[in-house]
Chain A
């Protein structure tokens, strides 16, 4: 919006944040909250499916530890939470006008986020190797301690639901990392100032959301 306004009639509002009536949340932030609300509904449809299928067919599912690498993913969760902390620090930095801090903490967030995706990719590889796949017909999960030719742990619904939930979450993290990179580049171009750093706040909101979704996912899928 702000890049658009100079072309408009000069005596009209310049910055949406000074518009009244309205709530004291500038347009982009309100827009981001609304978008995140829609994302809640999207993940609800996926998680809701998991919950329903799990109650309907408990035999398809197993003790999380039997198939999934809970310790590794627990560490990954902690890691992601750390990236939320670094994000907060990045935002706090630019709120004080600390450009260097902003860039450093953004970089930290990006690296942790990328590692999170990497670790998850590694976990996926191991799971697939053990036969834990999303294709119903090809599901033959042997579990972490299972042996070749051994009994199958769980059933196809486990694979289908696991990959769709964690996969879409991973996709959202990856998109977040890409957007964070854009924000970092703009930060390096000096785009953000003490008085206007909305882009940082917006990506921060998205990043915290992605983290929150993961905490819920991790609890439901890996702990229960």
Chain B
């Protein structure tokens, strides 16, 4: 993981000279910035893997029963003999696509990358509260990822009960045909849970205790706020999953009876435990992205975030409400219908803080001075796609309307509009925005725009049609929709989606290429290319050295003082003492006030 701009040798003036070897600098680093980059590389690899798995899924749906072209012969006889995907392999693909994306791509991207990189820098701290715990957090996730990969190569194949792993299908090899794969899945997730948990402990402690003087709670930039709140969700939700995973593991291995109906175990108990974790989990996947988007939107509009306090309250409300809506995943499960009504009401209420955020994002753009750079394109895409994902949720929130659309492609559409349209675009916004700070070079803009547009268009072609397919009854997780006569007419649409998906996946290679090319050959970045107010841009050098800042930063104002009348510039850094702010010239006619419009 070489960075061309010297970091190891770069020390803050006046600091003790402290030579760390290659291993302590690049492998077992305790520096939050290096760990963030390690998470970045690892999660982008898993993101790509998750995408390729989706590509194979889409191949089967687009060209059912056809041998996979080019690489078909690479598959074993137990997965795709002659390149033709088997139903059991299809179930594993669907399961693993989601598993890798959620646990090994999006979560580490949001938390491992952004939590690690941004939190200390944005609050003015030299590093995390527990640097060595941070190293552990990254390195424990690697064996977890390898264990998850290993599942593809064991007898019986990989887990194929969906990422939701409903019992008793997942608990008994007699039902699924899978034994070792499911065990590896459970073990891997248990281990990666410790990675997330250590991160959460680190981030919460750091934000509470290590803010620079003057960095009050309501001067913290929104990415850090979102990551802070998200860390609480991780802290409290992951252990619930861990408990459930262990119970399922024991059911599978030594034969306990938690979820086994044969001995009065309760399959619905698994669902309750899983979704009690699972719903906070989806907010874990989106909240940090909302913070990232807010930051980019404000900065590239040269305008304060509209309603910063409301945005914070909305983030906290979503986090709180997220605990009492889990039953909406279980409306059709056989759960007591009365519970359905209460979950319907709590679920519909959670739409409100999300709506508030959308309106505030629009308010941020209103009367702004909008620069359509690559990060801004992604942030804008985030807003527009999240609107769709959020609105589609309202259909499902109404329990009766959920009856026909549950477990159909309508749900798949919703999931991908919030996770790809939402989370992933915000992650792209973050990567392209903070790239110069991380690597000292600008992220290639031309290729960046090419990647954005191809991604945006093909992505919508893939997922938008899924709404109506679901409405017409296209069930999810089915290997061969043509088994159903009434779905045969959707085959052309499935094929179109597959082709668009291949374009979408291919476009990501443009991103990967641009990412590495820019790292070594991109234009050298100035210290604060976006003229941002926040400490990581305005105060810390680019890239920041070990320890981040020279001396202790002191904060005088909030992070979104863009286009302030107090300053001649259209930005006003948080750390600038009032007497060093360059004021605009006094107007000759006191009645004249320059307006932005």
Contacts and interface: CB of A to CB of B under 8 A. Distances in A.
B239 A134 contact: no
A9 B243 contact: no
A176 interface: no
Interface string A2-27: 00101111111100100111110111
Contact of B273 (A1, A11, A25, A45): A45
A147 interface: no
Nearest to B260: A136
A19 B210 contact: yes
Contacts of A64: none
Given A11-B14, A11-B552, A160-B257, A16 B243 contact: no
A136 B255 contact: yes
Contacts of B255: 135-138
Contacts of B263: 136-137, 139, 155-157
A41 B239 contact: yes
B258 A45 contact: no
Interface in A41-69: 41-46, 48-49, 52-53, 56-57, 60
B561 interface: no
B240 A57 contact: no
Contact of A8 (B209, B240, B547): B547
- Among B14, B200, B243, find the residue whose CB has the most chain A CB atoms closer than 10 A: B243
B552 A49 contact: no
Nearest to A161: B258
Nearest to A30: B205
A34 interface: yes
Contacts of B213: 20-21
A13 B129 CA distance: 12
B381 to A, nearest CB: 35
- Among A7, A45, A46, find the residue whose CB has the most chain B CB atoms closer than 10 A: A45
A76 to B, nearest CB: 24
A78 B210 CA distance: 41
A99 to B, nearest CB: 27
A12 B550 CA distance: 8
B127 interface: yes
Interface stretch (B106-114, B246-254, B367-375, B481-489): B246-254
B243 A46 contact: yes
A123 interface: no
Contacts of A136: 255-257, 260, 262-263, 265
A42 B272 CA distance: 15
A113 B126 CA distance: 39
Interface in B1-41: 12, 14-16, 18, 30
Given A34-B201, A53-B266, A27 B129 contact: yes
A31 interface: yes
Contacts of B256: 134-136, 156, 159-160, 163-164
Contacts of B126: 8-9, 12-13
Interface residues of B, number: 58
Contacts of B236: 37-38, 41
B551 interface: yes
Contacts of A160: 250, 256-258, 265
Given A8-B547, A21-B216, A31 B130 contact: yes
A27 B14 contact: no
B264 A156 contact: yes
A41 B250 CA distance: 19
B204 interface: yes
Interface in B549-588: 549-552
Contacts of B260: 136
B551 A12 contact: yes
A31 B266 contact: no
Contacts of B197: 35, 38
A62 B546 CA distance: 61
Interface string A153-197: 001110111011000100000000000000000000000000000
Contacts of A7: 15-16, 18, 546
B237 to A, nearest CB: 8
A28 B205 CA distance: 8
Contacts of B244: 45
Contacts of A135: 254-256
Contacts of B15: 7-10
A25 to B, nearest CB: 8
A22 B210 contact: yes
B129 A1 contact: yes
A183 to B, nearest CB: 18
B238 interface: yes
A27 B209 contact: yes
Contact of B208 (A12, A22, A138): A22
Contacts of B242: 42, 45
- Among A6, A22, A41, A161, find the residue whose CB has the most chain B CB atoms closer than 10 A: A41
B318 to A, nearest CB: 19
Contacts of A44: 240, 243
Contact of B209 (A19, A46, A49, A138): A19
Contacts of A13: 126, 552
Interface of A: 1, 4, 6-13, 16, 19-23, 25-28, 30-31, 34-35, 37-39, 41-46, 48-49, 52-53, 56-57, 60, 134-139, 155-157, 159-161, 163-164, 168
23 contacts: A7-B18, A9-B12, A9-B14, A11-B551, A11-B552, A13-B126, A16-B210, A19-B210, A21-B216, A22-B209, A23-B208, A27-B209, A31-B130, A41-B236, A41-B239, A45-B243, A53-B258, A53-B266, A57-B264, A135-B255, A157-B257, A160-B256, A160-B258
